[in-house]
């Protein structure tokens, strides 16, 4: 098939070309994001291959559909950036990569916890300036602490397993309890109970109308003073302005985020010589107890290879009407 690969980064090409070697799809690597301004370009391809910050709204899907496009192949797990109802109405097939390496994201979430707790970001900078003082670097034992996990699918379950290994008590909220987590000794509670009793809260649920701003003005007051919040899910799970207020008051003690609700204007680009206009984001960067990474949870060699393999296999399965198709619409 003719495939337009939008939002291509240099590291996307090699794994996709390798996975495609024996399949023979004609891949066109395009740097721009797919959105209203580039839908015309997308409409020239039978399939568009997109990532987390491409925007497939109804008008974009309508434009694609009016052209040659029949397949939207997401090379990621989340699909909150596609209007699925519109895709169904238009008869467009949407596929994704459901689980390419849950460990990659879970391990990154744990990295954020360790960094914030033991203040490794500050220690690193200090030691490089020959400042060997420990003042302000005191952390806490993770052993025995309660971790609350919102969403125990593939990534949440991998995260639960690691935190159980640290000797943490793990509670979780998920409408579909995961038997693997129950076996690990994870206790399922309501989201409100999880917020009230956890020392660390980690978000691993998809972004939906129900979970949008699940961390916000309503839930933050329920939490323990000094709580640590980790978000490697999707940015809009957190109401950023509400969390800035809670950081300023000291109610939130630590924030580690790999995703941000307005990240599409920021992440995956070098803006180091530009003036960033997002004041909420820039305020977040000023807190000593906030660590931000730019959506790199998925970014391991294993995950990139799996993403490429499943994406190309999805495209082939669609083309030939045979083989497993990881369909979301």
153 binds ligand NAI (CB under 6 A): yes
Report the DSSP beta bridge partners of residue 49: 5, 73
Distance CA 304, CA 156 (A): 20
Q: Kindly name the residue from 108, 204, 261, 263 that is annotated as catalytic.
A: 263
Residues 6+ apart with CB under 8 A from 319: 1, 25
Pick 146 or 296: Cβ nearer ligand NAI: 296
Q: Which DSSP letter does residue 206 get?
A: P
Show contacts with ligand NAI in window 54-113 (CB under 6 A). Answer: 77-78, 99, 102, 105
Pick 189 or 245: Cβ nearer ligand NAI: 189
Q: In the numeric block, which tokens belong to residue 29?
A: 């690597």
Among 130, 135, 138, 176, binds ligand NAI (CB under 6 A): 176
Among 72, 74, 171, 205, binds ligand NAI (CB under 6 A): 205
Among 69, 161, 198, 211, binds ligand NAI (CB under 6 A): 211
Residue 151 CB, shortest distance to ligand NAI, in Å, is 3
233 binds ligand NAI (CB under 6 A): yes
Q: Residue 66 half-sphere exposure, CB side, CA atoms within 13 Å?
A: 9
Q: In the numeric block, which tokens belong to residue 242?
A: 């509400």
Confirm whether 263 is a catalytic residue.
yes
Report the DSSP beta bridge partners of residue 28: 4
Residue 197 CB, shortest distance to ligand NAI, in Å, is 16
DSSP-assigned letters across all residues of 139-186: ----TT-EEEEE--SHHHHHHHHHHHHTT-EEEEE-SS--HHHHHTT-
Confirm whether 128 is a catalytic residue.
no
Show contacts with ligand NAI in window 260-319 (CB under 6 A). Answer: 295, 297-298
How many angstroms separate the Cα of 155 from the Cα of each of 238, 288, 294, 298? 18, 27, 18, 11
Q: Site for ligand NAI (CB under 6 A): how many residues?
A: 30
- Tell me if 65 sits within 8 A of 54, measured CB to CB: no
Q: Is the dihedral of CA 310, 293, 161, 123 positive or negative?
A: positive
Among 258, 261, 263, 264, binds ligand NAI (CB under 6 A): 258
Confirm whether 295 is a catalytic residue.
yes
Q: Kindly name the residue from 33, 55, 75, 234 that is annotated as catalytic.
A: 234
Pick 67 or 78: Cβ nearer ligand NAI: 78
Q: Which DSSP letter does residue 86 get?
A: H
174 binds ligand NAI (CB under 6 A): yes
Residues that bind ligand NAI (CB under 6 A): 77-78, 99, 102, 105, 150-156, 173-176, 204-207, 210-211, 232-234, 258-259, 295, 297-298
Query: Which residues have a catalytic role annotated?
Result: 234, 263, 295
């Amino acid at each position: 098939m003719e495939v337009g690969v939008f939002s291509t980064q240099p590291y996307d090409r090699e794994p996709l070309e390798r996975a495609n070697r024996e399949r023979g799809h004609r891949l066109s690597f395009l740097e721009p994001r797919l959105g209203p301004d580039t839908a015309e370009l997308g409409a020239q391809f039978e399939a568009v291959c997109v990532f987390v910050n491409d925007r497939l709204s109804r008008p974009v899907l309508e434009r694609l559909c009016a052209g040659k496009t029949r397949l939207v192949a997401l090379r990621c797990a989340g699909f909150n950036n596609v209007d699925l109802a519109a895709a169904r109405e238009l008869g467009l097939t949407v596929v994704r990569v459901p689980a390419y390496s849950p460990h990659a994201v879970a391990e990154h979430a744990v990295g954020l916890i360790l960094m914030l707790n033991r203040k490794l970001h500050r220690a690193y900078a200090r030691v490089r300036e020959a400042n060997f003082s420990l003042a302000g670097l005191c952390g806490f034992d993770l052993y025995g602490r309660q971790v609350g996990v919102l969403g125990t699918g593939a990534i949440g379950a991998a995260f639960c397993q690691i935190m159980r290994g640290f000797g943490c008590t793990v509670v979780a909220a998920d409408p579909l309890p995961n038997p693997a987590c129950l076996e690990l000794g994870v206790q399922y509670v309501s989201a409100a109970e999880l917020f009230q009793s956890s020392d660390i809260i980690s978000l691993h649920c998809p972004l939906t109308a129900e979970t949008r701003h699940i961390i916000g003005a309503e839930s933050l007051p329920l939490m323990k003073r000094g709580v640590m919040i980790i978000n490697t899910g999707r940015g809009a799970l957190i109401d950023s302005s509400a969390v800035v207020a809670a950081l300023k008051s000291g109610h939130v003690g630590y924030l580690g985020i790999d995703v941000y609700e307005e990240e599409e204007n920021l992440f995956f680009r070098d803006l180091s010589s530009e003036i960033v206009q997002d004041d909420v984001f820039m305020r977040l960067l000023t807190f000593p107890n906030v660590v931000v990474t730019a959506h790199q949870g998925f970014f391991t060699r294993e995950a990139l290879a799996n993403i490429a393999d499943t994406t190309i296999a999805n495209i082939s399965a669609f083309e030939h009407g045979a083989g497993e198709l990881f369909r979301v619409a």
